[in-house]
Structure 1
Amino acid sequence: RHIWEDYMEVCDDIRYTEGMKDLYSHRKETIERIFGTAKENHGFRYTQMYGKARMEMKVALTFACMNLKKLARIKHEWRLEMA
């Protein structure tokens, strides 16, 4: 058994409880969507760079840009609601 196996079993038990089951079903709409967007729009299906350090830099910059875009969208929506 792996060292973390006990923790993984606890997480699985929590995931299948009634309240968490509904919450976990929305994961595909929020978390998984971000990685899908990165794969489709930002070329993360295949690596174009050699070396772990270069890919880490590309991933960090890409997700930082995606977060800024998300922040700009949220700020724009909030201004419309406040007006």
Structure 2
Amino acid sequence: QCTASKTHVKVVTRHVWEEYMEACEDIRHTLGMKDLYSHRKETIERIFGTAKENHGFRYTQMYGKARMIMKVALTFACMNLKKLAKIQQEWDLKMA
């Protein structure tokens, strides 16, 4: 009665990774992870904000997906190198 199909069978389609997504959500809502997840906006999402503000990622400047993929890859590689240089500098200061 709850379906309009001819066979009166309701079909539920789930994504291939749905089971893993549910497991991640369960982990995210545990006691220790709630505090850790609250810092996500300060660490992970900050990187994308920096890319938007400092590297012109609000709009695309190039035509074609391949060119934009190349620009994104190079930009984030440079951002990672910058982060690595800062970490190494802090490490060197601690060792000195």
* TM-score normalized with structure 1 length: 0.91
User: Taking every aligned residue pair, what percent have the same amino acid on both sides?
Assistant: 86
Provide the residue aligned with 1:27 in structure 2: 40
Supply the distance in 2 between the matched residues of 1:7 and 1:78 (Cα, whole angstroms).
Answer: 37
Supply the distance in 1 between the matched residues of 2:68 and 2:49 (Cα, whole angstroms).
Answer: 17
Answer with 1 or 2: which has the greater Rg: 2
1:76 and 2:89 equivalent?
yes
Number of residue pairs matched by the alignment = 83
Supply the distance in 1 between the matched residues of 2:42 and 2:33 (Cα, whole angstroms).
Answer: 15
RCO higher in structure (CA 8 A, sep ≥6): 1
> If each structure's helix is expressed as a fraction of its own residues, which one has the higher value?
1
* Structure 2 residues not aligned, in runs of 5+: 1-13
* Structure 1 residues not aligned, in runs of 5+: none
Structure 1 segments, 4+ long, off by >2 Å, are 1-7
Q: How far apart are 1:26 and its partner, in Å?
A: 1.1
* TM-score normalized with structure 2 length: 0.80
Q: Please, what is the CA RMSD of the aligned residues?
A: 1.1
1:59 partner letter:
V
